Structure 1
């Protein structure tokens, strides 16, 4: 079984206390993951751009405790103790304890902060869980006679992160990451993300992503609830087949550099994601009126100028505006003049494709 490869060997070192820190980025899916089986296994493959500026910075301090019967940790977000986040972390620890047997040995102080608003359609759970998984992997390395090879370290970190938040497994590396078994993607797996293994045309290098913050508040429906509604969804099987097909098409697109085909797939995926939400039972709408205003403005701008700008959406109201780097000057003017007014307090985040997580010096 795949899971067995991630079970820890006997530790050769003892560690009484320490402190580690990682920064992990969010990611934006181009082919969307929506619907999961048990143990955070996706119903369909997905592929994402790893972001650069939208990230979570997590520092974990640990010290040995007397009893090893229970998990022990405190969680701080932006310096404020967050008791309401503890159940999610406790569930995560329960899921990964068999792969990190030191978890009940220590008391952990988990300090985390985001460079973007929490729970607003930017994948804070993805960056947060991947940053935490990487910190725990660094702690495991301290117990080993020799540190794990980078590829093995990243693969296990991705595997663990998935058990906290599915899309978190795509936030370990970059610039393109595939999660979910796909017949054409070498090494792809339902259990962890892998770097996209094929040719990528220069058109897609250093791709830009400006996140328009239409609504910085809490989502009205959690992603977990939304995923679960796919179990009895009348269109679920067609959707899963569509995702496989769209990923196959993107492989051709990334090689050829066909930006028009890229736009068609990416925008269709975004709208399909929200169509699945609107046709669930119960149904729900996460887009806001200004989400639609932005989409229509992008379509008009593209028609008027011939630009290759496009949009995608996560499970929220915010809009990710994607475009090639060579269009940065003109598109940023368009965003400032025509789209910012649709954002809450005219706020937006300028980002671009990045190359994964980084360990912090402390």
Structure 2
């Protein structure tokens, strides 16, 4: 794997001050990855819808350190302050500090600056929607904006690729939040340009039925997961079904690539739901085993199946590594499905809460933090 392409190879012209603001989205995988090796290398390829409304806005102010600070023994420490939704969050800093340590080889200029990070989500932090994908991809885009200022010769294509590469080192799924509306992460023989190191836009023309696809996220459980995704990934190392699962996922991505092009929505529904249930089957059969679904998760799934059969609908569900349910459906069914969600499914959500979303185009630079 060619990680050398992301090293800083030319002389940088440093600026004293800079400030950048980016908005980057979360994403929802259609073909899941579950299991990885260091450093954040997936055991199988995955493909996701980039979301639009569920996003993180992050502003980073960069101030170059004075020469005395640069000459000090603390040069190799990244200096930053972190504010989340207006409040300083010391408890969030260790994860970000660890991320900066991971990327220092590829972004040595971060040691030259004191950084102040302001971040906020468009969704409740405790809503059970993974914010690491949107949060770390936003930081990565801010860093690449600085790198562009220090080296104006960088192309947009390279910036996006390196941002995905950097984001991946903080959170694997964050590699899929730079671009959209469909992104593949993981080396796959049928996806041109695909890599374990970064996400790439799905390279083929998508059937119109999958354009502007809708995703309503039902907030079944907004609490902290009993088992983190990191722990769950690690349990795949000695999982009795791991090898078969990795092969199955890569085979399913081949099928999904064909489905997305030919518009076979029945096959799409079958594959998406099978992938969701297989992800949770891996959790059920890990050792130690664990369950992230809740009773209302299962109630929603069964109710969706009943509605689909009774109304000849193309509604389906997928799950992330948690209890919440992503309800997927084509744009043409938006009114009908939204009524069903409001009247029937909302009662299975905590405080009747759900988030209406749709596919988006990825990272967006903003003029300032709003």
Same fold (TM over 0.5): yes
CA contact (8 A) 2:180 2:360 kept: yes
Residues 1:176 and 2:182 are matched in the alignment: yes
Residue 147 of structure 1 and its aligned partner are, at CA, apart by 4.3
Residues 1:292 and 2:298 are matched in the alignment: yes
CA contact (8 A) 1:119 1:219 kept: no
In the alignment, structure 2 segments of 5+ residues that lack a partner are none
2:338 paired residue number: 332
Q: 1-side partners of 2:136 and 2:77: how far apart?
A: 21
Matches within 5 A, 1:160-171: 160-171=166-177
2:134 paired residue number: 127
Post-superposition CA distance 1:245-295 (Å, at most 9, x none): 111111111111011100000000000001101111111111111111100
Give the 3-state SS of the residue equivalent to 1:246 in structure 2.
helix
Paired residues, number: 361
Residue 121 of structure 1 and its aligned partner are, at CA, apart by 3.7
Give the 3-state SS of the residue equivalent to 2:108 in structure 1.
coil
Residues 1:273 and 2:279 are matched in the alignment: yes
2:61 paired residue number: 61
RMSD over aligned CA atoms reads 1.0
Residues 1:258 and 2:271 are matched in the alignment: no
CA contact (8 A) 2:128 2:223 kept: no
Residue 120 of structure 1 and its aligned partner are, at CA, apart by 4.3
Residue 348 of structure 1 and its aligned partner are, at CA, apart by 0.4
User: Which residue of 106, 111, 115 maps to 1:104?
Assistant: 111
Give the 3-state SS of the residue equivalent to 1:98 in structure 2.
coil
1:38 paired residue number: 38
2:240 paired residue number: 234
CA contact (8 A) 2:185 2:196 kept: yes
2:145 paired residue number: 138
Give the 3-state SS of the residue equivalent to 2:115 in structure 1.
strand
1:77 paired residue number: 84
Post-superposition CA distance 1:166-217 (Å, at most 9, x none): 0000000001000001111100000000000012101100100000011112
Q: TM-score, normalised by structure 1?
A: 0.98
Q: 1-side partners of 2:281 and 2:33: how far apart?
A: 14
Q: 2-side partners of 1:361 and 1:91: how far apart?
A: 28
2:93 paired residue number: 86
User: Which residue of 184, 197, 221 maps to 1:215?
Assistant: 221
Q: 2-side partners of 1:23 and 1:33: how far apart?
A: 24
Give the 3-state SS of the residue equivalent to 1:102 in structure 2.
helix
CA contact (8 A) 1:50 1:174 kept: yes
Q: 2-side partners of 1:95 and 1:69: how far apart?
A: 13
Give the 3-state SS of the residue equivalent to 1:230 in structure 2.
coil
Please say which of residues 322-331 and 248-257 is displaced more in the overlay: 248-257
Give the 3-state SS of the residue equivalent to 1:59 in structure 2.
strand
Residue 119 of structure 1 and its aligned partner are, at CA, apart by 5.2
Q: TM-score, normalised by structure 2?
A: 0.96
Give the 3-state SS of the residue equivalent to 1:39 in structure 2.
coil
CA contact (8 A) 1:58 1:111 kept: yes
Q: 2-side partners of 1:85 and 1:113: how far apart?
A: 13
CA contact (8 A) 1:120 1:316 kept: no
Residue 60 of structure 1 and its aligned partner are, at CA, apart by 0.5
1:16 paired residue number: 16
1:204 paired residue number: 210
Q: 1-side partners of 2:122 and 2:271: how far apart?
A: 29
Post-superposition CA distance 1:209-232 (Å, at most 9, x none): 000011112111111111001000
Residue 118 of structure 1 and its aligned partner are, at CA, apart by 2.4
User: Which residue of 313, 316, 325 maps to 1:310?
Assistant: 316
